[in-house]
Structure 1
Amino acid sequence: MDSFILLDYDTLRIIWWLLLGVLLALFAVMDGADIGVAMLLPAVAKTDDERRVLYNVIGPVWEGNQVWLILGGGAIFAAWPVLYAMAFSGFYLAMLLLLVALIVRPVAIKYRSKLESQQWRNRWDAIWCLSGVVSALVFGVAIGNVLLGVPFGFDPETLRPLYTGSFFGLFTPFALLTGVVSILLLAFQGAVVLSWKTEGLIAQRAIRCARVTGLLMLLLFIGAGVWVATGLEGQVVTSAIEPGAFSNPLSKTVEVTAAGGWMLNFSLYSWMWLAPMIAVLAALVAVFLVARGSLFAVFCSSVSVIAVVLTFGFALFPFLLPSSSQPDAGLTIYDASASHLTLWVMLLVTCIFLPMIIAYTSWVYSVMRGKVTADSVHNAPHSY
C-alpha cells in the first residue's frame, strides 16, 4: 500500500493546508462579493428597479459561489477531522448563527418578488442585507478568536475534545475588530464588483462605497496587524515533531510567547511579508481604478482579499486551531490530519474534480458577462 502513495505524509499535510487556504480564499473572493452586494443594498439601490439590478448581478452565480464554502467544509472534514470536530462543536452556536444567515439569504432572493407588495419586498431586502452583515461578522470574529486561541482541551484517555468557552465570550474587542475588518473587506469586494457590472447611479454609488470601505478596511487591517505584533500573545511548538508520525494532538509541547508571537514566521521567512504588502497595495490600486469600472479593479480587489487570507494563514502556521486553555492541545497540520492514505486518495479526487469546478465556474461567468441594467432586468425572461 505504501508504494501506491507517491508522496510522504508530511508533504501531503502541507499540500492539504495549501488546498484549504485556496478554497477559503476563493470563497472569500467569490461568495464574499455576493455577501458584499447584499450588505450594500441600502446604500447603492434606492428604487425597486435598482434593487432588482443588484439581485440580478449575483443571481446567476451566487449558488455556484457557495460551493467553495461547501468544499472548504468538506476539506476540513476529510483532511482535518479533529479540527472539524473541535470547531463545529465548540463554535456550535456561532455556526448555527452563520447557517441561519446563509439559509435566509436564498429565501430572501427567491421570495422577494412573490408578492407585488412593496412592504413585502422591503422586508425581504432587509433580511438579505442583514444576512450579509451577520455572515461577514461571524467569519471575521472566528478569525479573531483563532488568533487569540480557543479555550479547549482533550480528555487524555479518550482524546474527546472539551470546549470550555461560551458564545458571548467569542465577542472580545480584538475579535470584534477582525469582524469589522471582514465586513469592510467583503463590502469593498462587493462594491468593486458592482462598479464593474452596473451603470448609472448604481455604479456611481458603488464607486463611492468602494472608496470608503476600501480605505477604512486598510486602516483597520493595518491596525489589527499592529495589535497582533505588539499586544497579542502567540504560540510556538517547542518539541521536535517526528516526521511522518501519526496524528496525536497531545504529542507535542507548545510555548505561549510574549506579545508579537504570531509574527515569528514573518521573521523566519521574510518572503511572507509579501502577503500583507500585496493586500495593502492591491486594495489601493483597486480604490484608485474603481471609477473606471474595469475588470482589472475587480482583479486587484480579489488579489487583496486573497492576500488577507494568506496573511492570516502565514501568521498561524503550523497551527490550525491554537488552544488558549491547554496550549499543548492546540491543533497543527501535523497532529490533526487524517491518515496518510486518506489524504492521498482525497488528493487524487481533488485533482479530478477541482479543475472541473473551476472550468464550469469560468464558463458561467463568461456566459453571464456584461452589464446588468434596469432594461436588461425587465427584458430578461428569467430575471429576479
Structure 2
Amino acid sequence: MILHSLIDYDILRVIWWGLLGVLLIGFALTDGFDMGVGALLPFVAETDVERRVAINTVGPVWEGNQVWFILGGGAIFAAWPPLYAVSFSGFYLAMFVVLAAFIVRPVAFKYRSKRDDVRWRTSWDWALFASGAIPALLFGVAVGNVIQGVPFHFTDDLHTIYEGAWYTKFIGLLDPFSLLAGVVSLSMLVMHGGAWLTLKAEGNVRDRARRFGSIAALVAVAAYALAGVWMALGIEGYRIVGDYLTTGPSNPLHFEVEKTASWLTAYSDRPWIAIAPIMGIAGGLLTFLGLRAGREVSTLLVSKMAILGVISSVGLTMFPFIMPSSSDPRSSLTVWNSSSSHMTLFIMLVVTVIFMPMILAYTAWVYKVLWGKVTEADVTDNSHSVY
C-alpha cells in the first residue's frame, strides 16, 4: 500500500487549506503585535527612554515571530503553486513594499542605538513606524482585493495572464473596499500592539497604549462591521456550478464558476461559520473593555481571539475559493483545483506533524524565558538592552 493513500486527496486538500490559515493566523497573532507596537511608537512614547521601552518589548521576539510569515509563504509555494504564481505576479509591487518594510525594520532595530543623536534616532523611529503600519495596511488591502476577485485568467496551456497596466498592479489595488479592509487590518493590529504594550510595559507607555489601543479596537470593530454590510449589499460572491470532483487533478480550468449575489450566502449554507465573525466582533469589544479596565493577560488573549475570528471569517466565508478571478470566473483558484499532488501534500503533512510541535514548544519556551515587564530602569541600566 502506498503511504499517501492512507489519507484521501480531498481530505489532504482541506487539511492544507486549514494549515495555511493556521500559519497566516499564527503570523498575525505573533508578528501582529510587533507591527502594532511599531505603528503605535510615535503615539505612546515621547522621550527616547520611553521609545526604548516600547521597542524592547518586541526587540527580543520579533525575529522569531516573523518566521511565521516565511512559513506561510513556503506553504503557499509548496502546497498551492498556482496561488503562489498568481499572487506574486499580481501583487508583486505591493509585496515589494511589504518586503522593503520588513528589511527596514531589523536595520532600524540595530542602527537606532548606534549614535546618541536625536535626529538619528528619530529617523529610525519613524522607519519603525512605517515598517509596522504599512505592511499592516497592505495585508488588509490584499484581502479586500481577493474578496472582490483578482483580474487574472489562465490560457488553455495554463499560462497566467494578469489584466491591466503595470502601474495598476499597485494603484489599482487601492479601491474603496480594499482600503476599508486595510483599515480593519491596521486598526486590529494596532489594537493588538496596545494590548501587548499594556502587558509588557509600565508607566506612561502602558497608559498611552491603553488609550490608543482602545480607540483602535473600536475602529476595528466598526470597520469590520461596515465591511460585512458592504459585502452583503455591494460585492458579488462566487460559486462552482454543477457537480465537481474534489479528488480530481489540479487544473484551474477544470470547474465552471459563476458569480452570485453575495459571499454571505455561505452563512445560510453553513450556519456554524457565524462563530468566526462573532468572535471577531466580541473579541474587539472585549479588548476595548479590557484596555479601559487595565487588565493585561486577559486583554491580550481576547485581542488574539478577535484576530482569529476576523481572519477565519474570510477563509470560511470564501471556502472553497482561495483566489477568485474577476475577469474570468472559470480561472478562479479553489481548494479543489490548485493544490500540489497527493504525494506532495502527504509528505508535507508528515514533516509538519514532526516539526510543528518543536516550533511551538521552542516558541513557548522563549516567551517563558522573556516573561515580565520592560521598565525604564531595564533599558537604562541593563547593558543587554541594546535597542
Offset at residue 4 of structure 1 (A): 4.4
State the TM-score, normalized to the length of structure 2: 0.97
Q: 1:151 to 1:197 in 2, by over 3 A?
A: same
Moved over 6 A (4+): none
1:15-68 Cα deviation digits (max 9, x unpaired): 000000011111111101000000000110000000000110001100000011
Q: Answer whether contact 2:232 2:263 (CA < 8 A) is retained.
A: yes
- Which position in structure 1 is the counterpart of 2:10? 10
**Mapped partners of 1:302, 1:221: distance in 2:** 15
What amino acid is the match of 1:231? G
- Which position in structure 2 is the counterpart of 1:347? 349
- Which position in structure 2 is the counterpart of 1:299? 301
| 1:21-60 matches, cutoff 5 A | 21-60=21-60
Q: 1:6 to 1:129 in 2, by over 3 A?
A: same
- Which position in structure 2 is the counterpart of 1:375? 377
1:195-246 Cα deviation digits (max 9, x unpaired): 1111111111011011100011101110000000111111111132213101
1:253-308 Cα deviation digits (max 9, x unpaired): 011112xx211211111111111111111221121122324211100000110110
- Which position in structure 1 is the counterpart of 2:277? 276
- Which position in structure 2 is the counterpart of 1:203? 206
- Which position in structure 2 is the counterpart of 1:324? 326
**Mapped partners of 2:155, 2:95: distance in 1:** 23
1:324-366 Cα deviation digits (max 9, x unpaired): 0000000001100000000000000000111111110100000
The RMSD of aligned alpha carbons is 1.0
**Mapped partners of 1:239, 1:150: distance in 2:** 23
Higher mean displacement: 290-299 or 190-199: 290-299
1:167-209 Cα deviation digits (max 9, x unpaired): 2111100001111111100000000110111111111101101
SS in 1 for 2:161: strand
1:189 paired with 2:192, answer yes
Q: Answer whether contact 2:4 2:343 (CA < 8 A) is retained.
A: no
- Which position in structure 1 is the counterpart of 2:219? 216
1:154 paired with 2:157, answer no
State the TM-score, normalized to the length of structure 1: 0.97
Offset at residue 2 of structure 1 (A): 3.4
Q: Answer whether contact 2:220 2:284 (CA < 8 A) is retained.
A: no
For these two proteins, the number of residue pairs brought into alignment is 381
| 1:78-227 matches, cutoff 5 A | 78-156=78-156, 158-165=157-164, 166=168, 167-227=170-230
- Which position in structure 1 is the counterpart of 2:317? 315
SS in 1 for 2:255: coil
Q: Answer whether contact 2:195 2:296 (CA < 8 A) is retained.
A: no
Offset at residue 155 of structure 1 (A): 1.2
What amino acid is the match of 2:236? E
SS in 1 for 2:338: coil
| Aligned pair partner of 2:249 in 243, 246, 250 | 246
Q: Answer whether contact 2:151 2:162 (CA < 8 A) is retained.
A: yes
1:264 paired with 2:295, answer no
Higher mean displacement: 273-282 or 45-54: 273-282
SS in 1 for 2:6: coil
**Mapped partners of 1:172, 1:89: distance in 2:** 19
1:127-166 Cα deviation digits (max 9, x unpaired): 110111110111010000001100000111x201111132
The percentage of aligned residue pairs carrying the same residue is 50
What amino acid is the match of 1:338? S
- Which position in structure 2 is the counterpart of 1:358? 360
